[in-house]
Structure 1
Amino acid sequence: MKHERILIINGHPDPQSFNEAIANAYTDALEAHNVEFRYLPLHRLNFDPNLRYGFRDTLQPEPDLLAAIDDLKWCSHLVWIHPIWWYGFPALMKGFIDRAFLPGITFHLNADGSVSGHLEGRSARIIATGDTPQNLYTETYAESARIQLQNGVLAYCGVSPIAYTYLHPVYASTPEIRQEWLDQVKQLALDDAGLGAG
């Protein structure tokens, strides 16, 4: 499927991380083919990641957060890049979701208790990095980070379909392996843009 408006969200707090290299590989591939995209590295945003009042009171969104919400509304395809820490994702990324994915913005609770997702019509791709072997992550930890983001956030808000790629183990990887991963990411970008064979 071809996507003309792609939003890439980097959830890693370190601009020198391998996740940044992954984001650069993805955006470079799109840029080389004049695909319309926006890049949202969360470490550049100025916002309070703490939903300090829960849903009891409203915490007014900061300008950077308002711009990010506009990006969510603008895109037709979401790409999330994040590391897996403690079988979840970084606090910065969790805080972004807590502050941006709110009732009335990304979903609506109906009177009968059902949910209407405001992100319907959008698809997503998750690219996660970690050190846990695939079999252990799947069998012992039930792909916890994937379930949280894919089912608990994106699908809940109406996003479908959602593709998933897990790159591992990062800690023990060689420069050659990392380059293979970056080449793979470039191909995923072309596939998402409708320019690849996938």
Structure 2
Amino acid sequence: MKLTPNVGGFTVARRSILIIQGHPDAAGGHLCHSLADAYAAGAESAGHRVLRVDVAHLDFPLLRSQAAFESGTMPESLRGARDALIASDHVVMLFPLWLGTLPGLLKGFLEQLMRPGLAFLPGRETFPRALLTGRSARLVVTMGMPAWAYRCFYFAHGVRCIDRGILGFAGMSPVRHTYFGRVDAAPLEQRQRWLVQMRRLGEQGI
């Protein structure tokens, strides 16, 4: 990594950042898309390399058996996402909270992408070996309920299962969380503050 001096008053390491847009609506125009654009703009202004994957625009089948998951045969449509993940130092994944967790399309994408041989090596007598160590991640989640209620009342179980069971299992650390709640009721001023927050995170590459 190279250092970028004096970005917003601090020095950051230039990183290769993969932004995974997990909103399943291919029409776009949602808050998740604006947040991703703000993060990307901040990252690029600080000299980071930005790679982007929009899951809604990918065509892939759902996995229906253990044999299919372990086959290592990834759909051709996901080869670009695989290469971007391998090339990244940091992964930012954005999605709306649906039924307490990530949308089904994004879950299907992760099942296709995070396969044995790429995300981990199975161990018959030992714990599987993580293959994506050296990478950090951030989960950015929008929701209709207040963010504090999701964290305190529901303990953010639907997001933490992604943190620990998918990203952490593959070796990514740390995995940070950013929650935006009551998004449908948020006034324009609040949304603008959220965009500024995301741009600053992008500048720092975290």
The TM-score with structure 1 as length reference comes to 0.90
Q: Deviation digits for residues 114-139 of structure 1, max 9, x if unmatched? A: 02111001011111111222332123
1:80 pairs with 2:77: no
SS of the aligned residue for 2:185 comes to coil
Match of 1:93 in 2: 106
Distance 1:60 1:156 in 2: 21
Distance 2:16 2:72 in 1: 29
Distance 2:166 2:14 in 1: 21
Note if contact 1:87-1:145 (Cα within 8 Å) is conserved in structure 2.
yes
Match of 1:10 in 2: 21
Percent identity, please: 30
Structure 1 residue identity aligned to 2:133: E
Structure 2 residue identity aligned to 1:70: D
The TM-score with structure 2 as length reference comes to 0.87
| Structure 1: unaligned runs, 5 residues or longer | 194-198
Note if contact 1:3-1:76 (Cα within 8 Å) is conserved in structure 2.
no
Report how many aligned residue pairs link the two structures.
191
Spell out the pairing of 1:28-107 with structure 2 (5 A cutoff): 28-48=41-61, 50-52=62-64, 54-57=65-68, 58=71, 60-107=73-120
Change (3 A) 1:134 1:40: same
SS of the aligned residue for 1:171 comes to helix
Match of 1:154 in 2: 167
Structure 1 residue identity aligned to 2:80: A
Match of 1:120 in 2: 133
| Structure 2: unaligned runs, 5 residues or longer | 1-11
Structure 2 residue identity aligned to 1:114: F
Distance 1:60 1:44 in 2: 20
Residues 86-95 or 131-140, more deviating = 131-140
SS of the aligned residue for 2:168 comes to helix
RMSD between aligned residues: 1.6
SS of the aligned residue for 2:169 comes to helix
Q: Deviation digits for residues 7-48 of structure 1, max 9, x if unmatched? A: 010100122211011111111112223321101111121212
Note if contact 1:51-1:59 (Cα within 8 Å) is conserved in structure 2.
no
